[in-house]
Amino acid sequence: MSIYDLTIDELTEYFLKIDEKKYYATELFSWLYAKDKRITSFSEASNIKKETREKLSKDFTISNIEIVTVEKAKDVRKYLFKLNDKEHVEAVLMNHDYGNSLCISSQVGCNMGCKFCESGRRKKVRNLTTGEMVEQIIKVEDESNLRISHVVIMGIGEPFDNYDNICNFIRIINHPKGLNIGARHITVSTCGLVPKILEFANFPYQVNLAISLHAPNDKLRKEIMPIAKVYPLKDLINAIKVYLEKTNRRVTFEYIMLDGVNDKEEHALELVNLLKGINSYVNLIPYNETDALQYKRSKPLTIAKFYDILKKNNITVTIRREFGGTISAACGQLRSKKEDI
């Protein structure tokens, strides 16, 4: 088991169970997460007695993923990690004027099957553990020598299909003795697992929720996102309204712009009607094309017109800044390249 799987409460329970001082949990968290003294071996935790360090080494592992590839472009780095079972996942580091944001993976592969998504082209192998998600941040901080200030759980996988591990991941990275990343700087993205959205409304952390929408009506959404056959837009929107009522947190709707598919004027107007009165904003995303999928990016003028229609109808909207045009930018693309070899 990875030491990074444990929240500080679970680590406290562990030390009490082995008849050790419970404050060791705080000490060890500091050794694991403080960037200026981050350890790679339990033997380095010098203020914990030797016998306890030896016990920790028997009970836990401390490194379970490794960086195998880094692709770099202006203000962006894309990482391919190898896990202990030889599987691969990705993370993307983006440098913004407000800080350094890391988009992490939550699963090896994905079962949601969105037609435009490279990640969904390869089925889910397994969930990532809490520790494997935490280590993506640790490894990137160490490689880049940068502090990660924002985390987006929007890489390979559907986060709400790995719900319990995601929640513990948030507890660890948000903790002041952990990575100390502010709750409002953490975003969880889902393609629309309605029961988990309702459950997440009760999660006691002020993290952000993003919905991968990508279509303004059920017919089109079912064509490109199989999850819509299980949870139609009516159910999804109702769940979001419950979430908003309980949390008073604005929701983001992600909308990938696919040429000739979901980018027409009629689609923009439908989107206006769908989101009217909902405390949200829309993030229009220029599509990252891949050789394995037939979808193409909407033309810049088309995206601009779509944006204008939303704006004129009082929908808060942005066009996502593009990163990594010269690298394997699409989610899951770097992993697919590795697996296709």
Are 152 and 21 in a shared domain?
A: no
pLDDT at 292: 78
Is residue 336 a contact partner of residue 121, using CB atoms and an 8 Å limit? Answer: yes
Burial of 243 (0-12, 13-18, 19+ CB in 10 A): buried
Are 45 and 90 in a shared domain?
A: no
**Distance linking the first and last C-alpha atoms of the chain:** 30
Q: Which residues contact 276 (CB under 8 A, 6 or more apart)?
A: none
Are 53 and 127 in a shared domain?
A: no
Are 204 and 80 in a shared domain?
A: yes
Could you read off the pLDDT of 49-59 as tens digits, one per residue?
999 999 999 99
pLDDT at 290: 84
Q: Is the model's pLDDT at 231 over the cut of 60?
A: yes
Are 108 and 145 in a shared domain?
A: yes
Tokens, residue 61: 């592992």
Q: Is the model's pLDDT at 331 over the cut of 90?
A: no
pLDDT at 321: 82
Per the residue annotation, which of 114, 167, 191, 331 is the catalytic one?
A: 331
Are 232 and 286 in a shared domain?
A: yes
Q: What percent of the chain has pLDDT over 90?
A: 87
- Residue 90 has φ and ψ, to the nearest 5°, of -130, 160
Are 103 and 13 in a shared domain?
A: no
How much is the average pLDDT of 285-312? 94
Structural domain count of the chain: 2
Per the residue annotation, which of 71, 90, 118, 132 is the catalytic one?
A: 90
pLDDT at 232: 97
**What is the DSSP pairing of strand 208-212 with strand 186-190?**
parallel
Q: Is the model's pLDDT at 335 over the cut of 70?
A: no
Could you read off the pLDDT of 119-173 as tens digits, one per residue?
766 789 999 999 999 999 999 999 999 999 999 999 999 999 999 999 999 999 9
Q: Is the model's pLDDT at 36 over the cut of 60?
A: yes
How much is the average pLDDT of 201-222? 97
How much is the average pLDDT of 24-44? 91
Instruction: Specify whether 331 is catalytic.
Output: yes
Token pair 């660890």 is at which residue? Answer: 172
Domain range spanning residue 274?
65-340
Are 304 and 171 in a shared domain?
A: yes
Q: Is the model's pLDDT at 329 over the cut of 60?
A: no
Are 25 and 94 in a shared domain?
A: no
CATH (domain of 73): 3.20.20.70
Q: What percent of the chain has pLDDT over 70?
A: 94
Distance (Å, rounded) from C-alpha 254 to C-alpha 190?
10
Are 69 and 199 in a shared domain?
A: yes
What are the C-alpha distances in Å from 26 to residues 3, 175, 204?
Answer: 13, 11, 22
pTM over 0.85: yes
pLDDT at 123: 84
How much is the average pLDDT of 212-219? 98
CATH (domain of 18): 1.10.150.530
How much is the average pLDDT of 68-92? 96
Are 101 and 207 in a shared domain?
A: yes
- Residue 4 has φ and ψ, to the nearest 5°, of -75, -5
Is residue 308 a contact partner of residue 269, using CB atoms and an 8 Å limit? Answer: no
Give me the residues paired with residue 126 across strands: 108
Distance (Å, rounded) from C-alpha 107 to C-alpha 90?
10
